[in-house]
Structure 1
Amino acid sequence: MSIGHDDGVLSADAVRRLYDRLAAVYDLVVAPYRVVGGYRLVDGAIPLLRLAPGDTVVDLGTGTGHALPALAAAVGSSGRVVAVDISSRMLGRARARCARESLTNVEFIQADIADFTLPDGTTAALSAFAMEMLPHYDTVIERLIEELPTGGRLAITGLRDPEGWPEWLVRIGSWLNRPFGVTDAYRSHRPWEAVDTHTVEADYTDVLGGAVYRSTGTAP
């Protein structure tokens, strides 16, 4: 059984098994990130998707479903939210979140976002803290933009190698994120550059000294 690629990037199966193990405690473990504002860019990405009632939006790598209530509200009861994750147990937590909030316009699909095809009629896609985990993120982002209609919106957020930090501090950050499968192998991953390449109206911002980014763009 593969546990990773030769370059140190986790294989899809390794990611699935890791997050199946983390699912029960994931929200507790990431609570400090929420406190310091690590999820602020995720919450702020949802208005940037320009969703309207009746739209279909896909949450790629939904995890425990942090963004699902806001996405469901944005598309309304006539809209559709498709939550995709490679981990069945993370999806179970997302289902429980939606049940607690009585959300009826969310459906769940277990799949690897690396080869997931957007459903017909999708108008926007969000991916939070997932895209930088993909070995071939540029190819995935290019395909997503091709599958979105002209004017469709893509927003991604995630961790990045912060510029200007001393190396010892970067390594501490990498160590703190190791439970989530983050290793030095990901430091060269730059998904926001793929968004800039394949979209129009591309926009980038970051917080926490450049450690967390958000990138948005429009399908041409």
Structure 2
Amino acid sequence: MSSSIIKAYRKYADNYDFAVKLYRLLGIKIGKYRKMTVNSLELSKGDTVVELGCGTGLNFSLILDKIGEEGKLIGVDITDKMLDQAKKRVNGRRWKNVELVESDFAKYQFPQKLDGIFATGALQYSIQYDKIIKQGHDALKPNKKFAIMDFKMSQGPAKIFAPLIIFFTKPFGANEEYLKRTAWKSIEKYFEKTSYREGWGGFLYLSVGTKV
């Protein structure tokens, strides 16, 4: 993953949670899509889950509500300062079952027999997303899921707004190349059962693969 992305997220780490709220100015109910992603995993109490690109931990409470104190959440991120904010959140909530890992996604060694893997607006930062998805597939238990919520280039009428989207996401390292990446195709490539849906005029998608 490029050093420019790490640099961007180090810069905005302290104010990232506030910056995310600015998406609402674009009409993106990002919290809604985060919940949809977590719900798609169909988790149970005691499950072990990996979040790629956990950032400041905005999704942690959603996951922990599903897996309970007996479960385990592993948050992986490439940026030390984002993980510093995540650690503050974990310590503040006194969560004892959250592990934080600083790693490039492509170099991360997934624990085996996982109950779920997911990423929200992060996986396509890595040009090696195909490799990551394959490794994630192999680490999952049968009937468990890998869910990706990410941004893409709209192919519908809304594509005229692409320059505006790029302008607002550029500070976080998301450019036209990012929007043209197609991680959902790797989900469809490696997983036997898949689902796909778009939102926000086709600029956002949720792809879920179930290992058989």
Is this a same-fold pair by TM over 0.5? Answer: yes
- String of CA shifts for 1:136-159, please: whole Å, max 9, x gaps: 211211121112122121111111
Correspondence list, 1:113-128, <5 A: 113-128=105-120
3-state SS, counterpart of residue 177 of structure 1: helix
* d(CA) in 2 for partners of 1:59, 1:212: 19
1:20 equivalent to 2:10? Answer yes
Please say if residues 9 and 79 of structure 2, whose CA atoms lie closer than 8 Å, have aligned partners that are also in contact.
Answer: yes
Please say if residues 54 and 78 of structure 1, whose CA atoms lie closer than 8 Å, have aligned partners that are also in contact.
Answer: yes
3-state SS, counterpart of residue 180 of structure 2: coil
Aligned-pair CA distance for 1:165: 3.7
Please say if residues 53 and 78 of structure 1, whose CA atoms lie closer than 8 Å, have aligned partners that are also in contact.
Answer: yes
1:65 equivalent to 2:57? Answer yes
1:102 equivalent to 2:94? Answer yes
Correspondence list, 1:33-182, <5 A: 33-34=23-24, 36-165=28-157, 168-182=160-174
What is the TM-score normalised by the length of structure 2?
Answer: 0.92
- String of CA shifts for 1:65-84, please: whole Å, max 9, x gaps: 11111111211111100011
After TM superposition, the runs of 4+ consecutive aligned structure 1 residues lying more than 3 A away are: 165-168
Please say if residues 12 and 112 of structure 1, whose CA atoms lie closer than 8 Å, have aligned partners that are also in contact.
Answer: no
* Unaligned 5+ runs, structure 1: 1-10
Higher helix share: 2
Please say if residues 52 and 74 of structure 1, whose CA atoms lie closer than 8 Å, have aligned partners that are also in contact.
Answer: yes
The count of aligned residue pairs is 210
* d(CA) in 1 for partners of 2:111, 2:158: 43
Aligned-pair CA distance for 1:133: 1.0
- String of CA shifts for 1:53-111, please: whole Å, max 9, x gaps: 11100011001111111111211111100011011111111122223333221111111
Please say if residues 151 and 179 of structure 2, whose CA atoms lie closer than 8 Å, have aligned partners that are also in contact.
Answer: no
Q: Which shows bigger deviation, 45-54 or 164-173?
A: 164-173
* Unaligned 5+ runs, structure 2: none
Aligned identity (percent) is 26
Q: Which amino acid aligns with 2:15?
A: V
Aligned-pair CA distance for 1:167: 5.5
Please say if residues 69 and 103 of structure 1, whose CA atoms lie closer than 8 Å, have aligned partners that are also in contact.
Answer: no
Aligned-pair CA distance for 1:166: 5.9
Shift in CA distance, 201/167, structure 1 to aligned 2, threshold 3 Å: closer
